[in-house]
Chain A
Amino acid sequence: MNPAYTQLLQQDVPLAWYLVLSAALFSLGVVGFLIKRNLITVFMSIELMLNAVNLSFVTFAHQWHAVKGQIFVFFVMMVAAAEAAVGLAIIIAVFRARATLAVDRIDLMKL
Chain B
Amino acid sequence: MHLILFILFAGFCLAGAINLLLQSHPISSALSLIVVMTSLAVLYLLLGAEFLAAAQVIVYAGAIMVLFTFVVMLLNAGREDRTLGSKASRLIGFPAVVVILSLIATIILHAQELGAARLSEGITTTEELSAVLFTKLLLPFEATSVLVLIAILGAVVLASRGNGENNAKSKEAK
Report which A residues bind B (CB closer than 8 A).
8-21, 23-32, 34-38, 40-41, 43-45, 47-48, 51, 54-55, 58-59, 61-63, 65, 67-68, 70-71, 73-75, 77-86, 88-93, 95-97, 101-105
Contacts and interface: CB of A to CB of B under 8 A. Distances in A.
Contact of A16 (B3, B26, B109): B109
B141 to A, nearest CB: 8
Contacts of B156: 89
Given A14-B116, A15-B116, A85-B152, A30 B93 contact: yes
B4 interface: yes
A79 B147 contact: yes
B132 A68 contact: yes
25 contacts: A12-B3, A13-B116, A18-B47, A20-B105, A20-B109, A24-B105, A30-B93, A32-B20, A34-B93, A34-B97, A44-B26, A48-B20, A48-B36, A54-B40, A59-B117, A67-B128, A74-B55, A74-B129, A81-B148, A85-B67, A88-B68, A92-B71, A92-B74, A93-B159, A95-B75
Interface of B: 1-4, 6, 10, 13-14, 17-18, 20-21, 26, 29-30, 33, 36-37, 40, 43-44, 46-49, 51-52, 55-56, 59-60, 63-64, 67-68, 71-72, 74-75, 77, 80-86, 89-90, 93-94, 96-97, 100-101, 104-105, 108-109, 111, 114-118, 122, 124, 128-129, 132-133, 137, 140, 144, 147-148, 150-152, 154-159, 161-162, 166
A97 B159 CA distance: 12
Given A19-B114, A40-B75, A92-B74, A71 B83 contact: no
Contacts of A44: 20, 26, 29-30, 33, 68
B167 to A, nearest CB: 12
B155 to A, nearest CB: 4
A23 B104 contact: yes
Contact of A38 (B77, B124, B150): B77
A15 to B, nearest CB: 5
A103 B80 CA distance: 10
Contacts of B85: 104
Given A8-B3, A12-B118, A85-B151, A31 B21 contact: yes
